[in-house]
Amino acid sequence: MDLKTKYLGLELKNPVVASASPLSQEVDNVKKLEDAGVSAVVAYSLFEEQISHESGELDHFLSHHAESHAEATSYFPEPEEFVTGPYEYLDHIANLKKAVDIPIIGSLNGVSAGGWVDYAKSIQDAGADALELNIYYVATDPNLTGQEVEDMYIETIEAVKKNLSIPVAVKLGPFFTAFANFAKRVDNAGADGLVLFNRFYQPDFDLEKFEVVPNIELSGNWEMRLPLRWLSILYGNVKADLAATSGINTGVDVIKIMMAGGKAAMMASELLKKGPERVTGVLTEIKEWMEEKEYESIQQMQGSMSQKSVAEPAAFERANYMKALRSYKA
């Protein structure tokens, strides 16, 4: 049975990739992930704010929103609250590379095209096999248009791509007006991969303390329906490799992502809940499913259930929406 897949030009032994999470903070856990069979690891992110803080550069926020900058920085965690600073991050990438044979994908997390993007080159020099650029931005300013937000993303991607020879995947959130068009713009800006989707950590209110609490809920596998749909829609419409993140918890989830057109299925919550060893179980579930359904390779299923052959995807989506609503029996 052939589980191989090619993602960002990397030959992966299977599609199960560990998504950026605290698991990659310990070399030992990354070794455990490798032993359990994971095909690549995305390291936790180095944040633009960490780099800007350390270098004293402080041009990290939207340039046309400089006046909000001083106030905004007070929201950010103090540097000591991060496990590592920028230099330690580079050392950590080099250490991970030394410790394991599987590809290590570095992760930069930011939003604007400032001097911090030079760190992309440093991550490459530290030995990362590829870079994941996570652009996480909640567009709260009512005066900022969709076009401006998208342009800001594109500028950041171009700035990162400019000096790199390793492949760059871009991790995005789902909240864009015309996502298919935006994905194409990201593709044209040179992204080698699209990682869909960032989970937005929705804050709650604590009514005892009258505080906003940005606590993290680990995902459930119904959440993978969002990337599943968008991989299906984008497959064949962008050159970049597609990878899914959010809600992938089982071997069957991974297979669905492959059928939609994914080259990699990334997991964080499930591995945080059950430990790195869970990867072995997921791989067994994939193999059992393939045996039962007589599939010989992952490649043969990639994109087979995408919307590539659907003549009118938008009409198809509406038809499915109506069908879903009507199928509910009260």
| Binding interface with ligand FMN (CB under 6 A) | 19-22, 44-45, 107, 109, 134, 171, 199, 216, 218-219, 223, 245-248, 267-269, 272
Of 154 and 266, the one with the shorter C-beta distance to ligand FMN is: 266
Of 268 and 301, the one with the shorter C-beta distance to ligand FMN is: 268
Q: Which helix (H) or strand (E) holds 264?
A: strand 264-267
Residue 5 CB, shortest distance to ligand FMN, in Å, is 18
Cα dihedral across residues 142, 147, 148, 150: positive or negative: positive
Cα–Cα distance, 247 to 74 (Å, whole number): 32
Of 21 and 250, the one with the shorter C-beta distance to ligand FMN is: 21
Cα–Cα distance, 243 to 262 (Å, whole number): 5
Please compute Rg for the chain using Cα positions. 20
Cα–Cα distance, 243 to 257 (Å, whole number): 8
Residue 249 CB, shortest distance to ligand FMN, in Å, is 7
Residue 134 CB, shortest distance to ligand FMN, in Å, is 4
CB–CB of 55/119 below 8 Å?
Answer: no
CB–CB of 129/166 below 8 Å?
Answer: yes
- Chain centroid offset of residue 252 CA: 20
> Residue 130 in 3-state DSSP?
strand
Q: What are phi and psi of 209, to 5 degrees?
A: -95, -5
DSSP 164-223: --S-EEEEE-S--TTHHHHHHHHHHTT-SEEEE-PPP---EEETTTTEEE-PPPPP-GGG
User: Nearest-CA neighbor of 108 among 54, 40, 156, 36?
Assistant: 156
User: Nearest-CA neighbor of 28 among 281, 282, 276, 273?
Assistant: 276
